Amino acid sequence: MSNLFNKMIGRTRYVVFRLFLHLGGGEVAPILGVLNSAGRDAIDADGDLEVLGEGLVEISQTLLQYDEYWLSAANEGDVFFDEGEAGDYVNELFTDSAQRYLSEPGYSSDGLNEPLSIPVTRNVIVMITVAYEGEVPELETDLSNVQALKEGFKALINLHYKHRFKAIQVHFSPAQLGDDLTSDQLLQYYPELIPL
C-alpha cells in the first residue's frame, strides 16, 4: 500500500542492497574465472549498466549452479526516496567492500611468464551491491537460508531483465587466482557471515 501511495505522490523508492556469500571446498576455484571475466568486462564497458547486468546474471547463474558449496551468507540494505542519498550509500558500501581482505583484483599480465603452480582456492567470498527502483520482497528479507538465497539470486536476474538497476558492483575475495583466504581471515574480515 505504501508503494502505491508513494507512486501517487510521485516518490520513487530506491533500494540499496548488499549480499555476502561464502563458498567453500576444493571445487570453488572455477567461480573465480567467472568473477574475473565479469570484472574485466565491467572495466571495458566503463560502467555501462547493461553490460554490468549481463555480468551479474552470469555470476548469479553460476552461483546457483554451485549451491552445494554455499557455507554462509549475510545481507544488508536500506530504502531511500532520494536518489542522491541512495547513491551515497552505494558509494559507502562500495568502499567498504573494496577494503575487505584480498578483494582488489589485479588484471595485469605481469605474471604471464611465471611457472604455473597455484594453490587450490578453498574459500571464495562474493560481495554483490546493487541499487534498484521499486520493491523486491525476495531481496528485502533475511537471506541467511539456502532457499531464500536462491530466490534472491533469481530476483537479481529478473531485475536486470526488467531494467530496474541503478547501480551494480561485484567484489570478491580472493580476487586473484593463487591467493588463499584462510578460515581466520574469513572471521576477521567478514564477521557478518551467518552459516547456512
CB atoms near residue 146 (< 10 Å): 13
Per-residue model confidence as pLDDT tens digits over 74-121: 999 999 999 999 999 999 999 999 988 766 655 444 444 444 445 567
Q: What are the Cα distances from residue 100, in Å, to 28, 64, 67, 138? A: 19, 24, 23, 26
Model pTM score:
0.87
Radius of gyration of the chain (CA): 17
